[in-house]
Amino acid sequence: MNEIRPILWDDGTLKLLDQTRLPAEEVVVEINDYRGAVAAIRDMQVRGAPAIGVTAAYAVVMAATELATTDHVSVDRASFLAALREAGTVINAARPTAVNLQWAVRRMLEVAESEPDLSQVNHRLLAEAKGIQVEDEEINRRMGDNGKELMPEGGAVLTHCNTGALATSAFGTALGVIRAGWESGRRFQVFNTETRPFLQGARLTSWEFQQLGIPATLIVDSAAGIMMQHGEISCVITGADRIAANGDTANKIGTYSLAVLARENGIPFYVAAPTSTVDLSLDTGEDIEIEQRAGSEVTHFQGTPTAPVGVEALNPAFDVTPHRYITAIVTENGVARAPFVESLKLATGNS
């Protein structure tokens, strides 16, 4: 298998495979300051909840490095930590829905605050960020192993958006489960949606399946219904950007529609996500903030107008699928099923 690793830390420089340029070009952007990392997250050069979390962790490292060379904080631990928390607030604001971003920033700040020796903070932060990246790949591979038996023997699986290595450190979440099923010897047809308006499915997921040598067929988002109606889909599996305590799941816009269609047609609907995506502080999905992106992403594609000049466009980036439509949630700690209030607590070690 051709392993895809979209995030690389190289001696103080964060290198990201620019996902806005795929599949036409494989361009690596080099980032040397935390605001550059924030821009990369905001502009979707890096995307996918786990990948955003890893990038955010390295952003904290870069912020600490910048602050350590600033005279007024370099010898004052309290001022340094206060300034680092301010930088963390800026990083957190890059995108509001994916909980992994806030999770990673919080974890990094806790490391900084626990180190009494200011001269050791940067060293510990870098070690933590690298650890988060390594953990992410390990978690994804465990998720794949836990979920592979959910993949059909024969039949077909449908996935939405991009949930592969590009959305993580490596291997992937929902796409990782598909990959694990394929590598275990199961053979099934794969369909993936375009995922409008940013076309993550068409541009990124199709490219990943080609890199992995897994045959997959691209469909427009609105073709999912007729394919389910005609019995051409055996199951649906997607990723997640935030999961509430009751199992309500925020994911790329269009996920809710697929879940409803799956229920109507008696098809299992699975979610694959690390436990860091579970937000037990939120009782239900009603509390999840939905990112509203620029209407120009709907009216234009890569700078080219696709709608009349002056037309109004609404562009929510995510929707929330109520837990009643979800058959199971695959995590690195096992497969959670209803009642999710109990099973997610067990999966996250909060029982």
Count of CB atoms within 10 A of residue 194's CB? 22
The residue from 18, 136, 221, 241 that is catalytic is: 241
Question: Do the beta carbons of residue 83 and residue 67 sit within 8 Å?
Answer: yes
Q: Is 241 a catalytic residue?
A: yes
User: Hey, which residues are catalytic here?
Assistant: 241
